[in-house]
Amino acid sequence: MMWTYVAAMPRDARRPGPFSLSAVLLVVTVFLSGCSVKRLAADVVGDALTGDSESFASDDDPDLIREAIPFGLKTIESFLASSPSHRGLLLSAAKGFTTYAYLLQDEADRLEEQDRGRARLLRARIKRLYLRGREYAFRGLELDHPRFESLLRRDQASVLAKTTGEDAPFLYWAGVSWGGALSAGSDDLALVSEAPLFAALVRRVVDVHERYEGGAAHEFLISYETSRPGGSAGLAREHFRRALALTDTPRASLFVALAEGLSIKEQHLDEFKALLERALAVDPDRESKGRLVNVLAQRRARWLLARIPELFLDIDHREVAP
């Protein structure tokens, strides 16, 4: 799906030793400036929290990660209460809530077949989580672009023109979380009307930092073009080709995105199966930081293959089993 790619958080945080000269200087600075010790602690711990998340991204158990994420999110939020402008914490919160929402959305899709009532309630929660992630992404954008969200709603072209490659992470996660909220709450007319806004955020990522997260913006736009009214199949395929060209190790989710978004829509079973077979052929261990994403996408690929009789109308003369 369009928001499945979850890469490692930034790893450039510096962690001085407990008795280093820089640490002593920091204490003196706090004393002289009257800076809040609580905020200082939040900044220091915040740097550590956002410095290394490979243990999540490299895990091969999506269910374990789904259960572990909430504690981390509440920890991040507690530090943001003391340090509300910490860029790393804001990005981690945007990524974290969006990722958690997607993991639950995958669960809701499976639950739909057994218990539609529970699935509906779960989707309502998922929508709130996506919007929470969007809020943190907008807060990150507003560090350098005051009133970004309100200005975006008035004149998107003007406000987006002021963004640069440095804004790409927040632009991407704002757009992806916003789009996720619509996917979970497709009956929300306000969100439907806002679709051009979140698409514009992700298209801006293509403009200013196309290689961000291995072309993740292109992967999002595959699903956007195949799901929006009047969407372009040609553009979806072009985004697919471009995303492939931007990485030496394609994500399994990229093949799933085109198969689920376009092959089903066009009732192209042969292409559907070929794409999902390519997804399953990806070696999750080839790149550790992408292991979780690939395992999750491959699980969805198997689920989709098992649903071929439901997804394709004319399969009597074809081999259904993958």
Mean pLDDT of 101-117: 90
What is the tens place of the pLDDT at every residue in 111-144?
A: 888 899 999 999 999 999 999 999 999 999 999 9
For residue 42, pLDDT beyond 60? no
Rounded to 5 degrees, what are φ and ψ at 126? -60, -45
Beta carbons within 8 Å of 29's beta carbon, 6+ residues apart: 35
pLDDT at 249: 86
pLDDT at 54: 60
Per-chain mean pLDDT for the chain: 84
pLDDT at 50: 55
For residue 103, pLDDT beyond 70? yes
What is the tens place of the pLDDT at every residue in 281-319?
A: 999 988 888 888 999 999 999 999 999 999 998 765 445
Global pTM? 0.83
pLDDT at 39: 54
pLDDT at 120: 94
Distance CA 100, CA 225 (A): 24
For residue 320, pLDDT beyond 90? no
Give the confidence band of 209 by pLDDT, cuts at 50, 70, 90: very high
pLDDT at 189: 93
Judged by average pLDDT, the poorest of 12-16, 20-24, 63-67 is 12-16
Judged by average pLDDT, the poorest of 43-47, 140-144, 159-163 is 43-47
Which 3-state string (H, E, C) describes 153-215?
HHCHHHHHHCCCHHHHHHHHHHHHHHHHHHHHCCCCHHHHHCHHHHHHHHHHHHHHHCCHHHC
Beta carbons within 8 Å of 34's beta carbon, 6+ residues apart: none
